[in-house]
Structure 1
């Protein structure tokens, strides 16, 4: 698959308090396949991870959100954690950035609590998704068919529950990235 993904670019949108493995593991899987990955943060500065029960490493940003555009990338990854999606879901620039991927039909992968961002971006109604259990009712309230599965793909939208699902999440992320645009992916 490596040759098929050379030249692809993926943005990982993160703010402080993202779940460390939900950024580091997908980034490594993408890079292993020859994908250029940019960590995009609200202010272009490094962001500190949450590593299960305590603060983790700081990850340097490749771009500030103001300098990033959906047109620069082939797909978007949204790591979870509690703090990260809670901050991004009230950031209008982040919501516009996310919505741009849906409007362009590009793959978006969200794990754990990250679907909160998608709810606020207004892109989930009528979709089939999964998430960490504590977000399930929020998704149902937003018009989603929520299911308890390791990974769910709905027209380019990849969702998973927790870090234990990262292998399945990464496999589907890579598959959707290889497939490219999806006509069913919409805002």
Structure 2
């Protein structure tokens, strides 16, 4: 069974950006492991709860087929997190799906892996994407090479399907 790691803030992540792609992946026989800056219970913006079983610094890219950065206000803790940025680079260099939804796209931009890549993000992150060298499109979903970006909660299902398809 393939495994995907979801990098999720300990609080104020966007609930549906987590549980919709997770369900799509699990329905496709993909195991989803949640990593964060702490283990234990994580709380979404609207009260959804999940559990982190892995610290972000302990994520080994060799153990996973893809990495997914979950959006929401809380994801800003990863914008300059050295572990989050290194992981984005490691997955990208291994040509594994490297995905972000909503404002979490800023993580990929700050990791330096969006240079010349068509990408999208929640509108608040537009300037960070452009500064990171991305070709910002504003579309709901962008797939270019092994980079998958989506702009927010309304794109969560299509985002989940795109990540699943990238693992085939």
TM range (shorter): over 0.9
User: Residues 107-143 of structure 1: CA distance to partner in whole angstroms, max 9, x if unpaired?
Assistant: 0121110111112212111111011112112211221
Aligned position for 1:13: 7
Aligned position for 1:3: none
Note the C-alpha offset of 1:91.
Answer: 1.6
RMSD: 1.3
Note the C-alpha offset of 1:62.
Answer: 2.1
Note if 1:42 corresponds to 2:32.
Answer: no
Alpha-carbon distance in 1 for matches of 2:132, 2:87: 20
Note the C-alpha offset of 1:173.
Answer: 1.1
Deviates more, 1:22-31 or 1:167-176: 167-176
* Residue pairs, 1:45-124, within 5 angstroms: 45-51=40-46, 56-84=47-75, 86-124=76-114
TM-score, length-normalised on structure 1? 0.84
Of residues 21, 28, 37, the one that matches 1:33 is 28
Pairs aligned (count): 167
User: Residues 23-46 of structure 1: CA distance to partner in whole angstroms, max 9, x if unpaired?
Assistant: 111111100111011001122232
Note the C-alpha offset of 1:167.
Answer: 2.3
Contact 2:43 2:49 in 1 (8 A): yes
Note the C-alpha offset of 1:170.
Answer: 1.7
Aligned position for 1:143: 133
Alpha-carbon distance in 2 for matches of 1:39, 1:71: 16
Structure 1, unaligned runs of 5 or more: 1-6, 179-187
Of residues 8, 12, 17, the one that matches 1:22 is 17
TM-score, length-normalised on structure 2? 0.93
